[in-house]
Structure 1
Amino acid sequence: MLRSSRVHNSVMEILARRIIGGTYAENELLPTEGLLCAELAVGRSSLREAVRVLVDKGLLVVKPRIGTRVMGAENWKQFDPDIIAWSANVKPDPNFLRSLFEVRTIVEPAAAELAARRASGSDIANIESGYNDMVAGWQAQDLTRLVEADIRFHKAILESTKNPVLMELGSLIEAALRSAFKLTNESSKAPVEALEAHKALLEAIRLRDEEVARKNTLEILKAAQLDLPI
């Protein structure tokens, strides 16, 4: 059963990336079941399960006697964690990234304000751990570590709000950060300034300064957006 689940998950991801990346265009019919099974070396049951899930997520529609057709992005469940992750891992779409940044600009300053009000000692320690790893990643010129730490930092702030709806947006923030990293050069234009801004946000939350936490978050987002070709 576990192997079967892995197979259909793998098939689902392959098809999803092809759809999101444009290999399969909107309104295009997928290759026949037989052709896809042969290409991917999987059974029909695994392929059908993968298609069923992608239909649920809005990426595909099955038409009897016609075939399986690719749906336009307006039909996708854009807040679905899988769709967010797949979108971040294909070549980032500037329009998608622009939309993510708009959501971040609405959500994250308010989240930082709530974090300054509600964060526990352990929450602040988690935010600080993310920041410290960002510094260590930059000092070691380990860009993967830097990006992962940046994601942890921002997700830890969402966790600190104690708001379950905001906490669920962690995957969206992660997608935005990963997509941004793919679109920018591997070295930030102002890494020291970015680290200082994150440190200032950490301290604002530690000091329970809600207004400064909100302001610092907006400054971080504005600076990040300047580095992007969007």
Structure 2
Amino acid sequence: MEQNAKERSLVSKVMDGLVTGIVEEKYGAVLPPQDVLSKEFDVSRTVMREALSMLLARHMLDVRPKIGTRIRPMRDWRMIDEDVVSWRFRAKPDPEFLRDVIEFRMLIEPRASAQAAKRGNAADIAAIREAFESFRVMRPDDPGHQAADELLHTRIVVASGNQFFQQMAAIVRGALSASTQFVNADEAMWAEVIRRHTRVVEAIERHDAVEAEAASRDLIDFAADEMGDRKAANGTHE
């Protein structure tokens, strides 16, 4: 059993290394042969084969006769998988991907906020308030800011009580991490961010589903506008 655990750990480490190489475009379009990769990672062919099969199952790779193991476009990756979500958000975000991130958030979070207002019990709502209090005392450049932001939004999704929404929590966290680089630490802007989050949280506490949904939608619109402004300032265009 100890040997199996050690092998699983090695497989995970190799997967992580392969993904890093993929998102950093180290390998190009096709991975090197398995024996070359085994030497690169200093693992057995069995471990390498298992790691590659795990990435194949996540639609990240494609084996083609006479071509080898081709790296599939990121849009084909199985995003419902939490590991894949984490890996995809590790890559440099492109304008199309950021657009999809905002559209996904707009689809899930406002409805989750409304359902949290309707269905959230006292413990759910207390957990949301606790996460919000931690979030609002942190600035975007504080080390724990991203984790606090992700926790707040995750707790809202969980409080919705919708198991499909809850399964999407990993993507919500990833979407927030992709947006972090576009957050401006300007005092006035940050005060507005807190104000809009406060509106969502207070609507949920009042069990006002209509207001919670509208406030969440408004918050995401604000984030999208801010991302657009920052992209333009950095010379990134659609």
User: Does TM-score exceed 0.5, indicating one fold?
Assistant: yes
- TM-superposition CA deviations, 1:166-199 (whole Å, max 9, x none): 0111100100111111344566761111111111
Contact map agreement 2:59 2:77 (CA 8 A) in 1: yes
> 1:81 maps to which residue?
82
1:108 shift after superposition: 0.9
> 2:235 maps to which residue?
none
Instruction: Measure, in 2, the Cα distance between the counterparts of 1:94 and 1:129.
Output: 34
CA RMSD of the aligned region, Å? 1.9
Instruction: Measure, in 1, the Cα distance between the counterparts of 2:74 and 2:150.
Output: 26
Look up the equivalent residue of 1:29 and give its one-letter code: V
2:5 paired with 1:6: no
1:96 shift after superposition: 1.7
SS in 2 for 1:78: coil
> 2:100 maps to which residue?
99
> 1:23 maps to which residue?
26
> 2:206 maps to which residue?
207
Instruction: Measure, in 2, the Cα distance between the counterparts of 1:152 and 1:9.
Output: 25
Contact map agreement 2:106 2:217 (CA 8 A) in 1: yes
> 1:38 maps to which residue?
39
2:42 paired with 1:48: no
Contact map agreement 2:110 2:214 (CA 8 A) in 1: yes
1:16 shift after superposition: 2.1
Change (3 A) 1:183 1:48: farther
Look up the equivalent residue of 1:90 and give its one-letter code: A
SS in 1 for 2:138: helix
Change (3 A) 1:83 1:101: same
Contact map agreement 1:92 1:183 (CA 8 A) in 2: no
SS in 1 for 2:30: coil
5+ residue gaps in structure 1?
none
Instruction: Measure, in 1, the Cα distance between the counterparts of 2:165 and 2:78.
Output: 18
Contact map agreement 2:74 2:88 (CA 8 A) in 1: no
- The share of aligned pairs that are identical, in percent, is 27
> 1:118 maps to which residue?
119
Instruction: Measure, in 1, the Cα distance between the counterparts of 2:106 and 2:133.
Output: 24
Contact map agreement 1:127 1:157 (CA 8 A) in 2: yes
TM normalised by structure 1 equals 0.90
TM normalised by structure 2 equals 0.87
1:129 shift after superposition: 1.1
| Matched positions, count | 226
Contact map agreement 2:184 2:190 (CA 8 A) in 1: no
Larger displacement relative to structure 2 (87-96 or 209-218): 87-96
> 2:234 maps to which residue?
none
Look up the equivalent residue of 1:19 and give its one-letter code: I
Change (3 A) 1:17 1:61: same
Larger displacement relative to structure 2 (220-229 or 111-120): 220-229
SS in 2 for 1:30: coil
Instruction: Measure, in 2, the Cα distance between the counterparts of 1:41 and 1:97.
Output: 36
Contact map agreement 1:62 1:68 (CA 8 A) in 2: yes
Larger displacement relative to structure 2 (119-128 or 6-15): 6-15
Instruction: Measure, in 2, the Cα distance between the counterparts of 1:178 and 1:187.
Output: 19
Instruction: Measure, in 2, the Cα distance between the counterparts of 1:56 and 1:121.
Output: 40
